[in-house]
Structures are given as C-alpha cells and as structure tokens.
Amino acid sequence: MSFGFSPTAIPEVMVIDPRVFPDQRGFFMETYKCSEFAAHGITGTFVQCNHSKSSKGILRGLHYQKHPKAQCKLVRAVSGEIYDVVVDLRQGGPTYGKWIAVELSGENRKMLYIPTGFAHGFCVTSEEAEILYMATEEYAPEYEAGVFWNDAELAIDWPLAEPQLSSRDHAWPPLKWAENNFRYNAVA
C-alpha cells in the first residue's frame, strides 16, 4: 500500500500520507493511485490540476464551487508550509459550519482530500509555499462562491491576525449569507 488514509474530525475529509522511498539520489513517492483511493471511498475523477505560489502571510480562501460544478479537491504543498482549512457547508449535517485545519508542507508531504460540500482556504506560514491541487470539475466562474475567511461565527483559529487577501477574498460574505446549494447526504 502506497498511502495511509486518516479521517479527520469531519470524517469525509481525509489526511493522506504517501509512502516515501528515499535513497542517495533523493526520493520517490506516488501522489495519486486510483485503485487505492477508490478502496477508501475516493472515487471522483480528477480533471484539472492547479499550481499556486504565495509568500508568507498570504491567505487564499475560503473558496468552493456550487452544484452542478462542485469540486472534490486533493491538496498538497510541494514546498514551504501552509495552514490548510476546510469548512463544512452541507446544510442539515452534524458538522455543518464546523472546520478543521491541517498543516501541509513540502517536508511532511501530507495531502488533504476535500469532498464536495466544503469551502477550502489556506494561509502561508513559511517564507513562501507552492501548492498543487487536483479537482474533479474544471474551474467554472459562474458557479464560484466563497465564505469570508474571518467569519466570527466560524471562529477559525488562523495563525495570522492580519493576512494579505485578494479583493475578491476580502468581499466574500459570512457563511449565513453565502450562496450554498449543498445538503447533507444529498446526491451530487
């Protein structure tokens, strides 16, 4: 087996630890294997891969796409370190409005699987970081939505008090006013 799969406090969100094979040349690791992911309930087909680079203090998020273009994501930091946050948007569910955070880094090589129905964001805690994430739907701006990063009702414990944000990320509404068509146990 090439991966370890660990559910978080929100069981549908998984931390994935790839098996790393180091030697005198460096290392080798698989970052995705359809059969192993499917054996752990991750069956979506990834159709787009994104790569971003950000400096310390940058916060990107909290983003999601609504149905019918909702995305599952597989996120990893290839260099640097991020504080990665996922918020449950599935109305009627036991963890609606709850969030989890995971430190992802080029050093720990952990990945985070985020199913549909969740907002995602991260802030950079190292001098800079490069992030790769795969998505099960292509970017569709007409279905793009977000939640304000510092929504008082969510009370996310970000490691930065005053991060740098894009104007778009600064303008997202709090969760209670956000456009959201996710329902707990709904079929996508």
The region, left, alpha or beta by phi > 0 then psi within -120 to 50, assigned to residue 155 is left
Can you list the positions of beta strands (E) in the chain?
3-7, 14-18, 20-23, 26-29, 48-55, 59-65, 73-79, 81-88, 99-105, 111-114, 118-124, 128-135, 144-146
Active site residues: 63, 133
Q: Beta partners for 22?
A: 27
Residue for token pair 């805690």: 125
Question: Which residues neighbour 47 within 8 Å (Cβ) at sequence distance 6 or greater?
Answer: 135, 136, 137, 138
Q: How far apart are CA 167 and CA 7, in angstroms?
A: 33
